[in-house]
Structure 1
């Protein structure tokens, strides 16, 4: 039996929504916080963008970040295409919930690793670090968004645990 056939259709459906949510969540972070709001860059706590060379380096890191999120999004599109072709794509509400779960997972992992553990950047890089932004990002963008996604991704009539 081929490897793909050993994975249940439900698992593949979840994978497409989650993977797309991770990739598109990364794009949203980069577009909204890096490019529009100018709150931070990928390495702005390590190399504050006070000179043109520092800004150039931060833009390079942002570009690599966007390349990664693009590749993840591309993988999610391929998974969704495969599920649609096989007739195993979930209902729109469930799929949207799975995408929100993926976005929340991105926010939690990126927030914990980049903001707290590695201190590469913070949600809002200011002259004085304000940890409240980082914690609010984890709470709202991770926990709250994840809870909404989890509720939406459950099939109707599924037993609660």
Structure 2
């Protein structure tokens, strides 16, 4: 007796393309948020908002969390579509994402972010402490937006990455170079006029010990959180920064780690 398989659902290819796009879009958001918001700390989602309730550091970090939560929802939608596409196919052949549509989604995220966040609303720019904000915006737009989009469009009909695909290797190399270059720029900044320092105290530590350690310096307070656990200060001598760990600090920017977002916090910000 011959086993007759039911026909494949004609919607399966469409669902697979949609799943691949959604996964690429969400991965673009995660790439942006994890690298730029957390590792390099070049900006938060609302870094361009410096006043009101959303201008505080705690609110900035919280909105980054909301952003990542939204990316989780989009990624979950992509996984659901991937599962539905697999269920609609009667054969036992493995279902693979359409990598062309994945890269289209990845590029669309960065293009959308640039248009809406950088240039229309201005809620943040790629590198908030850069002297020329537009140069960084355009470089990111081209490398992580336009290039993946064009590569994905060219390969959108391929069910798997082309063998020995030069374009795919080029994009991967650009990603690696950009991440390494960004880390080097963050560790060894090209400009030295921003001397603000972020100090996070250990739970239970007193700010008095910190001020006692800085008593003989010209250090000034720029901002602090209401609990007195996070301080932004200026004019702290580099030689004094490591000593703050003995005074209750668990994090001091510019001591043994990159300055991150403290590099674009300016003196005169509201406390």
Same-fold call, TM > 0.5? Answer: yes
Higher helix proportion (structure 1 or 2): 1
Q: In the alignment, is the contact (CA less than 8 A) between 1:47 and 1:58 conserved in 2?
A: no
Aligned residue pairs total 146
The structural deviation recorded for 1:138 is 1.4
The structure whose RCO (Cα within 8 Å, separation 6+) is larger is: 1
**Is residue 83 from structure 1 mapped to residue 85 from structure 2 by the alignment?**
yes
- 1:31 is paired with a residue of what secondary structure? helix
- Larger fraction in strand: 2
Equivalent residue for 2:63, pick from 57, 61, 64: 61
Q: TM-score scaled to structure 1, two decimals?
A: 0.81
> Which residue of structure 2 aligns with residue 73 of structure 1?
75
Matched, 1:115 2:124: no
1:84 deviates by 1.3
The Cα shift of 1:47 comes to 2.2
CA RMSD of aligned residues (A): 2.3
Counterpart position of 1:141 = 144
**What are the Cα deviations for residues 8-38 of structure 1, in whole angstroms up to 9, with x where unaligned?**
3332221000011111111111001110011
1:9: which partner in 2? 12
Contact 2:18 2:81 (8 Å CA) reproduced: yes
Higher mean C-alpha displacement, 147-156 vs 76-85? 147-156
Residue aligned with 2:56, SS = helix
Residue in 2 that maps onto 1:150: 153
Tell me the TM-score normalized by structure 2: 0.50
Report runs of 4+ in structure 1 exceeding 3 Å deviation.
88-92
Unaligned runs of 5+ in 2: 1-8, 160-271
Deviation at 1:110, TM superposition (A): 1.1
* 1:130 has 2:133 as partner: yes
User: Following the alignment from structure 1 to structure 2, what is the Cα–Cα distance between the partners of residues 97 and 82?
Assistant: 19
List gaps (5 residues or longer) in structure 1: 157-161
Cα separation, 1, equivalents of 2:36 and 2:130: 17
**Partner residue of 1:101?**
104
Shift of 1:87: 2.0
Larger Rg: 2
Task: Give the Cα separation in 2 of the matches to 1:147 and 1:99.
Answer: 12
